[in-house]
Amino acid sequence: MSKLFSNVKIGQFELTHRVVLAPLTRMRAEEGAIPGALMAQYYSQRASKGGFLLTEGTAVSPGGNGYLGAPGLYDDSQIAGWSRVVAGVHAKGGKIFSQLYHAGRQSHDDLQPKGERPVGPSEIPHNGMAYLEGGWTPSTPNRALTLDEIPGIVEQFRSAAKRALAAGFDGVELHGANGYLLDQFLQDSVNQRTDVYGGSFENRARLLIEVTQAVISVWGSNRVAVRLSPASIFNDMGDSQPMELFTYVVQQLDKLNLAYLHLIEPRINGVIEDENVDQEAIASKHLRQHFSGIIITAGGYNGDSARAIIESGDADLVAFGRHFVANPDLPERLRRDLPLNAYDRPTFMGGNEVGYTDYPFYSEESAAVA
């Protein structure tokens, strides 16, 4: 049997297969950014014995959200909803981490408390998009965080991590990818600060490391992980020395004894997949040399390519997005080489149960009829 379906340990947890539900923004939270019964059903459907799931990006503060309908963990009222999600996953024998994020400049005045401006490391014009009641809307210009505001950002992540612990999660993953706040501080196309959070690699990585250490103080290091997108230009990101920057960042994270490192492959920029990019660019293959722990890779995988990268040793687990959206029983389908449901991209973000919890599980009976 493929190594994709062999045991692996992340932190203190033993898994029985290496097919991971990627963190996917679905925007089905109820009023107050609270997970409801529909969200609990969605995650429970995709749980399996010995399997591993990641939640969608979960805002650590009201001002840290970039999408109407995305959930939060910035208020105690949100804990009970997440507890139902976790309970459903645990009932199926699975493990689940909460992915914590702050959108930073990728937001809109209408999503901010009192209509304030979104925040970022520097005031740099960009072409990001936020999701409002009327649909996708250009992000509004951000302001730069002041030096004395940054400890408050760290505390927002720490407080959200405490709520994730109270909700019963198995751990947390910090979203340092895709052009959100932690990624914004890393890359010099966005971070043009001249204080201790700008300039050198050490300074630009400072916020990510401080947030990671704060969350470790809540959870312990082997229940904390970080996600990075080293080659992505999604949300107008970029760095003048990406290889050197992310090598440094990963080397620093390697010192923290994390549960795992989660890397988005260079062929993926947001929802766009480009197979023509340099596959030797910075991602799992290169950064494996600088990280001694477990690596999860994500980005446009199918069963064959997932099996191949696990066999190569460049990654230990593979996170699936769109195929897991459309196939709640994806691990079993991949294990048995069964046909996959087609996904419906227009229903990925926002809406109701359509394209969310109504995808069928595989059944021998329906397959025989077809």
- The residue segments making up the domain with residue 45 are 3-369
Structure tokens at 269: 């920029």
Closest CA relative to residue 93, chosen from 46, 55, 47, 54 = 47
The total number of structural domains that make up the chain:
1
Structure confidence at residue 366 (pLDDT): 57
Gap between the Cα atoms of 129 and 137, Å rounded: 5
Taking CA atoms, 175 is separated from 57, 240, 278, in Å, by 7, 22, 24
* Catalytic residue numbers, as ranges: 180
Structure confidence at residue 369 (pLDDT): 42
Would you write out the chain's pLDDT as a tens digit for each of its 370 residues?
Answer: 689 999 999 999 999 999 999 999 999 999 999 999 999 999 999 999 999 999 999 999 999 999 999 999 999 999 999 999 999 999 999 999 999 999 999 999 999 998 999 999 999 988 888 999 888 999 999 999 999 999 999 999 999 999 999 999 999 999 999 999 999 999 999 999 999 999 999 999 999 999 999 999 999 999 999 999 998 777 788 999 999 999 999 999 999 999 999 999 875 555 555 555 555 555 778 899 999 999 999 988 999 999 999 999 999 999 999 999 999 999 999 999 999 999 999 999 999 999 999 999 998 645 544 4
Structure confidence at residue 368 (pLDDT): 44
Domain CATH code at residue 172: 3.20.20.70
